[in-house]
Amino acid sequence: MKKVINNPDNYVDEAVEGVICAYGDKVRLLNGDKRILLTNYPVRDGKVGIVTAGGFGHLPVFLGYVGQGMLDGCAIGNVFASPSSHKMSEMIKACDYGNGVLCLYGNYGGDKMNFEIAREVAQMNNTETRSVIVKDDVASSPADMADKRRGVAGMVYAFKIAGAAAEQMMNLDDVVEVTEHALSNIRTIGVALSPCVVPQVGKPTFSIDENEIEIGMGIHGEPGIEVRTMMTADEITTVMLERILADMPLVRGDEASVMVNGLGATPLEELLIVYRKLHMLLGEIGVSLYMPHIGEFATSMEMAGFSITVMKLDDQLKALLRAPGNTPFYSSFNK
């Protein structure tokens, strides 16, 4: 696997520099620190700040959603490694507009530990914070251990809902409540077809046979629930949707937004073939679809495979989902 990179040690910094070169109108660095990205849009006093943090290598997750109507700040780690609590606390401070900050991030050990420390620092600085942890990956733990589930592509929906709620000037309690409500209605499952290469490592993170597919694999190559012989797109989609519906049943009359997310190397053509089948299967049980998200939202560099996320909607979530959002890699206008 060939990578278009320079010195692997500069991989993250150079990509972040690219973001600033391209989108310096929408985002900026905090005091030139390439590991803390902030919105460059005007923010109203008293808006709840929405921040995240996480390892690099998943673009557009995480930093690609900093802008307007989604995230106000993102602390950036090394590839697949959490940023430090220090970066997080600087970011939280910069995103405190007077009514507190929501820390919204995936259920990973390093991110959790560092955000806990950063929130303690924030408290000493009189910034109120709350944490909401994304645990949408149904394949990563069974339902009776749902608290151990990893956060994956569903966090993009959570960023959108939380960001829109904050933009409507909801207070911190209400932003937390609606974000948790959204997450209770979000489920994701992924499949991996091929591995990715961490630049500083230089070789694939795992291997999958040419005629196999791993259902439920995590975005860092965490083991899935099942290795199966390669199936058709319709068969894969059916198996994945069954897993989601077993965890979050949908019934006739329900509405949902579905994200078909490419992990990096899987063509858009194939994501559309998957969406077609989801549309058929959900249509058969009387579920109607709203604002599809088809493309690359949360990746693992050049990993092949995709994930399916279902967000069950109500009127409040629909309104927040369609509210304006504009970041370097997300626009509500073409959803």
Establish whether 279 is a catalytic residue. Answer: no
Establish whether 181 is a catalytic residue. Answer: no
Where on the chain is the footprint of a second copy (CB under 8 A)?
1-7, 11, 14-19, 21-23, 56-57, 59-60, 64, 193-194, 210-211, 213, 230, 232-234, 236, 264-276, 279-280, 289, 292, 294-296, 299, 301-302, 304, 306, 326-331, 333-334
Which residue in 59, 54, 62, 11 sits closest to 200, CA to CA? Answer: 11
Rg, the chain, Cα only: 19
Region class of 67: left (phi > 0), else alpha (psi between -120 and 50), else beta = left
Minimum CB distance to a second copy, residue 293 (Å):
9
Minimum CB distance to a second copy, residue 304 (Å):
7
Q: Which of 86, 181, 220, 293 is catalytic?
A: 220
Question: Which active-site residues does the annotation give?
Answer: 58, 220
